[in-house]
């Protein structure tokens, strides 16, 4: 079983010391989904939500959240991000917004959490924008799809 890096010898939580690690190009991709009722989905798709352009708000929420991941997740390092991208695909057949986020850096620690937090924030923003029309909105995920760079190598979800 791999050693848990966020625990010290006594089992207490700690921030990992990455000061000796070299700077490496790193990339992570995450996704999550939001499912709406028919009324809310139509309003989202047709850009008729009372609060405004939900897709633009969700993209901005994702980018802002990625940049502030260390404020959300206590043991995360503050990572200087080179890029954060957000794609939102609307799927009419299932009334779903599929959010995919990508975070990139050249740093001493990975950006998986930044991609995951970005996907989560986008979904929460979509919920907030459409909740007046659907209190039963469902959010699923987030999930890591890809991680590249660093000592542990490449990971790709099947």
Which active-site residues does the annotation give?
128
Alpha-helical (H) ranges within 46-153 are: 54-67, 69-72, 112-130
Residue 31 CB coordination number (10 Å): 23
Neighbour-count burial of 46, counting CB atoms closer than 10 A to its CB (0-12 exposed, 13-18 middle, 19+ buried): exposed
Of 119, 97, 118, 104, nearest to 31 by C-alpha is 119
Of 126, 127, 100, 125, nearest to 115 by C-alpha is 100
Q: Tell me the C-alpha to C-alpha distance, in Å, between residue 13 and each of 9, 66, 68, 77, 126.
A: 10, 23, 21, 14, 33
Residue with tokens 């609307």, as numbered in its chain: 90
């Amino acid at each position: 079983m791999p050693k848990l890096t966020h625990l010290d010898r006594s089992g207490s939580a700690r921030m990992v010391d990455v000061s000796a690690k070299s700077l490496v190009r790193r990339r992570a991709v995450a996704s999550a989904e939001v499912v709406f009722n028919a009324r809310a989905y139509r309003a989202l798709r047709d850009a008729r939500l009372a609060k405004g352009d939900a897709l633009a708000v969700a993209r901005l929420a994702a980018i802002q959240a990625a940049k502030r991941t260390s404020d959300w997740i206590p043991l995360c390092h503050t990572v200087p991000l080179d890029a954060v991208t957000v794609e939102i695909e609307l799927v009419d057949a299932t009334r779903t917004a599929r959010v995919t986020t990508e975070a990139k850096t050249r740093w001493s620690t990975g950006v998986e959490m930044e991609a995951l937090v970005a996907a989560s924030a986008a979904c929460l923003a979509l919920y907030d924008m459409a909740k007046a029309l659907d209190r039963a909105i469902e959010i699923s995920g987030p999930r890591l799809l890809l991680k590249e760079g660093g000592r542990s190598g490449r990971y790709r979800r099947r």
